[in-house]
Structure 1
Amino acid sequence: MNVIVTLGATREYIDAVRFISNASTGATGSALADFFASKGFRVSALCAANSIKPKNKKVEILEFSDFSDLNGKIKNLLKTRSFDIFIHCAAVSDYSVRSPCLKTKLDSGSGTLKIILKRNFKIVERIKRYARANPSDKKPEQGGIARNRCSEHCELPEQGGIARNRCSEHCELPEQGGIARNRCRELYERPYLAAFKLTCAAGKKEILSAVSKLKSADIVVHNDINEKGFFHLYKNGSKTADCRGTRELAKKILKEIP
């Protein structure tokens, strides 16, 4: 299976040397990339330039700089390559500088500096849309995920093609031309998406609200800045597991993947 992990913080440039960023180091994403590579997955890590990088030499290292660069590289990767699992750990800025001075350094003696920020869209909500543009992913069942998910959906074993045949009966769709398989695939669209949500001193209601907004994610990993090393997994809006440390988190994510 092919896995992609995004990690680290975007840099939204003000001028050629100054930028707005955040405190993300990429440590969690790097640990997850190393874990999946150690389990035999083919892993690509899309890393912030200044982030901690995966140590496993089998991990393909790619880099991004700002929001626009990250979005463009995710879009291109999903359009040209097939990924079964997408782990989106990158700390993406909600805002970018509207008119950065990328070819020069602003005069530091000018007194007050006014910076206008523009709102960025949520890349996480476009990941599956970008993947749909990949011609190779138009074929049903590619990579085995559709078949596995189909059998899970129909609660039937996959042996001997039984699940695929019964799928058309269960879904009340004709199987001719692969329609039933295509429809079943739509229910469990790849890549399987694990999205991360960071909060700061949030209460239960605030956490549930934040998690529920990530509608395209198959699972959401929540952590709060005041709970270092602790992670909480949510599926369909409900908490399914609590984890301590990145290794336990990686095992829980792997267990959730069909």
Structure 2
Amino acid sequence: MKILITGGGCREYIDSVRVVTNSSTGRTSAVLADELARKGNEVTLITAENAIKPQDSSIKMIFFQTGEDLAKAIKAELTPSCYDAVIHAAAVSDFVPDTITIGGQTVKAGKNAPKLHSGSEMTVTFKASPKIADNLHEWAKLGGNANAKVVCFKLTNNADESEKTRAVTKLFGHSGADFVVYNDLSEITKEEHPFKILKSDGECVATGKTNSEMSDMILGALRG
């Protein structure tokens, strides 16, 4: 199969030097890329510049910083090519800096904003970022495969069962994903990475405790 994977966390700029990011290391996507490539699949990994990298030299690597960079990279890779599946594991920021108010003045936030002086109170206003997951089916279709499968990831933290169900159902609803890989941060340790793979009707098609198991089970789900 020809598979596109995304991974790592976005860095959203407040000004030319300050950023807002998250704790994603990109480890899961790196393991998935290595394992799926080792099984003979053609793998492209779009990952954060500072993320953990896979070891397999056959993997095509593309790097991003911001969510906007990531969206452009995915679309540019999917639309001229015919991928069988997209595994969207990147930790995309839900909110990005929009404006900065400091010293009574408000300026537009972003990488092109000048470095702001320290020593004063600063207020940063955030805006909601576009949902990249919502475009994956359409971009894959433009690349020539209307039947490409989309796998999205949902991470919660200390969620109860009803919260987990709502989070996964919401993701299925706006993304149209074929599968969602679900994790809760409170259950993840250095030794274990528990997960469930779900279908849109709520059926759990696989469970496991390691990223290596996850790669096998995602591949099995994609092949039907």
Structure 2-normalised TM-score? 0.88
Aligned partners of 2:110 and 2:72: how far apart in 1? 21
Aligned ranges for residues 31-70 of structure 1 at < 5 Å?
A: 31-70=31-70
Partners of 2:159 and 2:184 within 8 A in 1:
yes
The one-letter amino acid paired with 1:33 is A
Aligned partners of 1:132 and 1:112: how far apart in 2? 48
Q: Paired residue for 2:115?
A: 105
Q: Paired residue for 1:81?
A: 81
The structure in which a higher percent of residues are strand is: 2
Q: Paired residue for 2:180?
A: 220
- CA distance change for structure 1 residues 86 and 101 in 2, over 3 Å: closer, same or farther? closer
Partners of 2:141 and 2:148 within 8 A in 1:
no
Aligned partners of 1:67 and 1:6: how far apart in 2? 11
1:16: Cα distance to partner? 1.3
Q: SS of the residue aligned with 2:35? A: helix
CA RMSD of aligned residues (A): 1.2
Which 4+ residue blocks in structure 1 deviate beyond 4 angstroms?
Answer: none
Q: SS of the residue aligned with 2:16? A: coil
Aligned ranges for residues 1-258 of structure 1 at < 5 Å?
A: 1-98=1-98, 99-103=108-112, 104-109=114-119, 111-134=120-143, 136-137=144-145, 189-215=146-172, 216-228=176-188, 229-236=193-200, 237-258=202-223
Alignment gaps of 5+ in structure 2: 99-107
Q: How many residues align?
A: 205
Partners of 2:97 and 2:125 within 8 A in 1:
yes
1:120: Cα distance to partner? 1.0
The one-letter amino acid paired with 1:234 is L
1:101: Cα distance to partner? 4.5
Aligned partners of 2:125 and 2:142: how far apart in 1? 33
The one-letter amino acid paired with 1:252 is M
Alignment gaps of 5+ in structure 1: 138-188
1:133: Cα distance to partner? 2.4
Higher relative contact order (CA 8 A, sep 6+): 2
Q: SS of the residue aligned with 2:123? A: coil
1:53: Cα distance to partner? 0.8
The one-letter amino acid paired with 1:59 is I
1:233: Cα distance to partner? 1.1
- CA distance change for structure 1 residues 101 and 247 in 2, over 3 Å: closer, same or farther? closer
Structure 1-normalised TM-score? 0.76
The one-letter amino acid paired with 1:129 is E
Aligned partners of 1:3 and 1:117: how far apart in 2? 33
Q: SS of the residue aligned with 2:187? A: coil
- CA distance change for structure 1 residues 101 and 5 in 2, over 3 Å: closer, same or farther? closer
Aligned partners of 2:179 and 2:130: how far apart in 1? 20
Percent of paired sites with the same residue: 36
Aligned partners of 1:244 and 1:107: how far apart in 2? 47
Larger Rg: 1
1:132: Cα distance to partner? 2.4
Aligned partners of 1:77 and 1:56: how far apart in 2? 20
Aligned partners of 1:77 and 1:207: how far apart in 2? 32
Q: SS of the residue aligned with 1:193? A: strand
